[in-house]
Structure 1
Amino acid sequence: MQPAVYLFVLCLIAESWSLKCWDCRSDSDPKCADPFDNSTVPIKDCRQEPDLPHLPGVRPTMCRKIRQKVHGQWRYFRSCAYLGQPGIAGDERFCLMRTGTYNIFMEYCTCNSKDGCNTGALPSLNWPTLLFVSGLAIAVTWSSSFVL
């Protein structure tokens, strides 16, 4: 395997280890609700999240957004997520929805496509990493063409 391919894989792994998620609750910051306004909301590095006593050895690997309606009041929660998979069957465009008795509704969305993906926006590419790796791959390919 080419060194550039190793570096590319390493960059992807490093990105997944350092996922950052918005962390807020609409009951304490109304800007956490939809439409989301992150001007006062912190983004948290999920590596800094504490271990949970009831989930030993499990670390957060995704972001989540929870939207719930309880007795007519909407609440929003955004944070790092410890369990589950992104979206539904891996598709982050879909969220898990539940309806209960007594006017209770919940929507649970998870993602890990990029930092801050729990805004609800569509995923995008990490352009600086992509450009760096592409440039490196071209340089390695160009330099290896001179080796006989």
Structure 2
Amino acid sequence: MKAFENRLVAVVLLCCALQTAYGIKCWDCRSDNDPKCGDPFDNSTLAITDCQQAPELDHLRGVRPTMCRKIRQKVHGEWRYFRSCAYMGEPGIEGDERFCLMRTGSYNIFMEFCTCNSKDGCNGAGLQKSNLLAVLFGTFSVGAVAHFLRH
């Protein structure tokens, strides 16, 4: 029975590692060039971008994008939207993708930065909801590992 428990723990850990090893695909557009990029978001004519293929940035040598980003910006009363791969930061605020970082400035400027890496295309419109199946699987996995470690 101990061998089965060790294999189960190894499979769970491998699944967790594989999930983080894959690259992410994000929407890449600007509403000032394409009005479909705004909210409501219409991706019917856009191709999703594989962030692993995104170019290396001159000011961030060796840094690869690991998340998607959506920026909502209001400048002098006009809303603009930018969606792209994100090279730095963490998903959401303290890891919670439901929350975005908001900034205001002088001259009637407002910006909202949303970052995510929960699924491909997560920088589409609206707040992202957790996948129920993923939550249940994660809860089961943690419970199983805790059970086996206690015995």
TM-score (norm. length: structure 1):
0.77
Mapping 1:63-102, distance limit 5 Å: 63-102=68-107
Mapping 1:31-110, distance limit 5 Å: 31-110=36-115
Asked if structure 2 preserves the Cα contact closer than 8 Å seen for 1:117 and 1:123, the reply is no
Aligned length: 129
Q: Which of 8, 16, 20 is matched with 1:9 structurally? A: 16
Structure 2 residue matching 1:54: 3-state secondary structure = helix
Structure 2 residue matching 1:66: 3-state secondary structure = strand
Q: Which residue of 2 aligns with 1:23?
A: 28
Q: Which residue of 2 aligns with 1:122?
A: 128
1:69-125 deviation line (CA, Å, top 9, x unaligned)? 111111000000001100011110110111111111100000000000001342454
Asked if structure 1 preserves the Cα contact closer than 8 Å seen for 2:24 and 2:52, the reply is yes
Q: CA 1:126/1:21 → structure 2, altered by over 3 Å: closer, same or farther?
A: farther
Residue type matched to 2:11 in 1? A
Structure 1 residues without counterparts, runs of 5 or longer: 132-148
